[in-house]
Amino acid sequence: MRAPAIRGLGLLSGTGPGAGPAPIWTLARPERAGDRFRRATRECLLALAAVDAMLEDGKAPREAIAGDGTALFYVTAAAYGASNREFIERRGGVMHFAYTAPAVVPAEVAIEFGVTGAYGILIGGAPSTLRAIDQAARLLDEGRCDRALLLVVEIFEECGDLYARHRRFTRWPLVETAACLWLERGDGELRFESARDGRRAPAPPGGGERFAAGPLADLCEWRDRATGGPIELSGRWRDEHARLHWSTERSHARGTRGVIRRSAR
């Protein structure tokens, strides 16, 4: 299948060191003007900030992604846990039931930036993100959209005590991440592979676990190195191992090698 071109990539990453039995590198709640955002969840505001960073990287106004020519994919494994826990436990404040659905995050992005094209939501870890890139490439290759946005948000702080009960999440930090990738039609080849082998995921590269956001963090690092050549992205979630081979002819257009913003409380 034809590989898409990268127009822009914005990534917000928590920084350490984290504290507690399950160290978490947190992202602060972004401030956004407007009464509509007063009750918005942290994951929604982070998603909007990731799109802002992507537009900055692509040197484009927000109007460039508006309309029905833009497809929107959203991937997460954990971002909806915080709002669901607050709604169930009623831990101060008022959490509206609508905000407990994973779909609220891409919905806020679609409303704020006027995105009205095809959309998809994938729940899972890194293989789901690679699968979303593959699906976005298919839409572009078939002419069903002019551009595709891939949005990933992972937050952990609100459920930190729950993660601490699992030994895996006490061995390395959980890194809160919000990222958005802008894809357009390109040249070259994209190949997605997935298999289930029953093996557990190894230690995450770089010492931190990002769940679904791992592949976009790896892609951002690849762009920062500016080495050229094909991209090999891979990820494991539970017993699934996925790999994406992405040849890079015209795969980078007009961006500035990825906007990375790190924020910690």
Q: In CATH, what number is assigned to the domain containing residue 85?
A: 3.40.47.10
User: What pLDDT, on the 0 to 100 scale, is given for residue 199?
Assistant: 64
Q: Calculate the average pLDDT of the chain.
A: 87
pLDDT level of residue 256 (50, 70, 90 thresholds):
very low
Task: Identify whether 23 is preceded by a cis peptide bond (ω within 30 of 0).
Answer: no
Number of domains observed in the structure of the chain:
1
Residue 210 belongs to what domain range? Answer: 5-263
Q: 116: buried, middle or exposed (CB in 10 Å: 19+, 13-18, 0-12)?
A: middle
CA angle 151-154-159, nearest 5°? Answer: 155
pLDDT level of residue 128 (50, 70, 90 thresholds):
very high
Question: What's the whole-model pTM score?
Answer: 0.90
Cα distances from 71 to residues 138, 161, 184, in angstroms, run 11, 36, 10
User: What pLDDT, on the 0 to 100 scale, is given for residue 253?
Assistant: 45
Q: Using an 8 Å Cβ cutoff, are 54 and 260 in contact?
A: no
Q: Using an 8 Å Cβ cutoff, are 264 and 19 in contact?
A: no
